Amino acid sequence: MRILIVNTSEQTGGAAVAARRLLQALNNNGVKAKMLVRDKETDRLSVVRLPDSFLNKWNFLWERWCLFCHLHFSRRHLFELDMANTGRDITSLREFREADIIHLGWINQGMLSLKNIRKILESGKPVVWTMHDMWPATSLCHLTLGCESFKVGCRNCKYLPGNGSRNDLSAKVWRRKRKVLEGRSMTFVACSRWLESEAKSSALLQGQWVTSIPNPIDTHLFQPSNRQRVRKSLGLPADKKLILFVSQRVTNVNKGMRYLVEACNQLVGEEPGMRENIGLVVLGGHAEEIAPLFNLPVFALGYINDVHQIARVYAAADVFVLPSLSENLPNTIMEAMACGVPCVGFEVGGIPEEIDHLTNGYVARYKDSGDLARGLRWVLAEADGPILSRAAVEKVASCYSQNAVAMRYIGIYNKVLSDTDSKI
C-alpha cells in the first residue's frame, strides 16, 4: 500500500507536525508513505518538495493579494481565510502516479486550488482528507467562532467588510467547493469527535463519509524526564511550581492570553504567598512582550524549533495551561500529557476529549478566567501530582500513540481501497 500525504509545510504549524508524525507512524507499521510539501525544511528522503519554488511563491502571493482586495485592503483577517483560487497540479508528479491513496492534510495558502482538488478526484484515486480545522467544511474560514452559516450555505461572512452580503466572496467560494465535490466522494477524517460532529452538520459535506481519528504522538520522544535535571539544563528555577504556556505566536488572540493573564493574577492575588512559589514559563514567538502583564515571575523562552528541546521544556513544568478560544485536538496538550504533565484548558473543541476532568487535569468553563485559576490551583496545590502524571501518560499511550493511530488509518485505507475496487 502506497500513501501520498499532501501538506503545505513539512514542519511549520500544528497540522504539519501531525502530518509528519503520521508519515512516521505509517512507515513504522509497514505502509509505504511519502509526504509532498511546498515548504521542505529537512533532508528527510520520505518528504518531497514541489518543484519550481518561484511558482510556489507566486501562488501564495497571488491568493493573498486577491484576499487583500476582497478585504478592502485590510490585513485584519488576511491569514484567517483561504479562497484556494490558485495552487499546483500534482497529478503529473511521479509520487502521485505511484500512490494508491492520496491523503490530503492542510493544503492552503497556494498549495492546492479547488480546481487542483477536483483534478485529483477525477484521477480515480481514493482520497482521504484529514481535517485539522473547519476549512474543508466551510467556504473561507478555518475557525467558525460560533457562526453556523456552513450548516446551510456560507454567505454574509462576518470576516468580510460590512459582514459580507448574500452573494459575497464566501457565497461564491461555497458554490465552487460544492461543484468540486459534485458527483465525487472522499473520506474526511476529523482529528477530534467535536470536529467530526461539526463537519457532519456542514451542508457542503452531506453524502460524504466523515469520521474521526486523533493525531499521533511519538511517545519515545515525548516522555517524562527528571524534572530538576531538565530545569537545570534550561536555566529554570528548581524551587518554584512552574506553569507552562506554549504557542507558535503567544500573542494570537485565539490562544486566550487575556484569560491566562487574568487567571494567573487572580491566583497570586488571592494567595499572595504563592507569588514567591509560582512561575510562568512561556514558549513561543513574542513571549517577552506579554511578561509585564503578569504579577508573577515570567520565564520567556522564545520560539524553539528543536523538538527534543521542546520535550524538555514540557518535562520541566508542573502544569500545562491552554486557554484557547477555539481548538480542534491540540498537539500541545497531547505532548504535555505524554511528558507526564497534567493540563488545564477551557471546555472547547476537542480539549475535553484529551483532558479527563479531575483525572489527568482540569477542564475549566469556557472563557471563565476564575475557573481557569481554580484549575491551576487544584493541580498545583490540591491534587496528588504523581497520580495525575501517571494518568496523563496512560491516556496518551492508549489513545494517541503512533501505533494506535496508524492502525486506525490503515483500517480507513483498506476500506476506501475496497470500495474503489468494488466500483471498477
104-151: per-residue pLDDT in tens? 999 999 999 999 999 999 999 999 999 999 999 999 999 998 899 999
Residues 6 or more apart whose CB falls under 8 angstroms from that of 298 comprise 279, 280, 281, 282, 290, 291
Residue-level pLDDT at 333: 96
DSSP reduced 3-state for 140: coil
Distance of CA 149 to the CA centre of its chain: 23
Spatial separation of the C-alpha atoms in residues 56 and 90, rounded to whole Å: 12
Query: Rounded mean pLDDT of 87-98?
Result: 97
Q: Please, are residues 157 and 142 in contact by the beta-carbon 8 Å criterion? A: no
> Tens of pLDDT along 54-92?
999 999 999 999 999 999 999 999 999 999 999 999 999
> Tens of pLDDT along 206-244?
999 999 999 999 999 999 999 999 999 999 999 999 999
Residues facing 302 on adjacent strands: 283
The DSSP H or E segment spanning 102 is strand 101-104
pTM, full prediction: 0.85
Spatial separation of the C-alpha atoms in residues 120 and 136, rounded to whole Å: 15
Residue 424: pLDDT band with limits 50, 70, 90: low
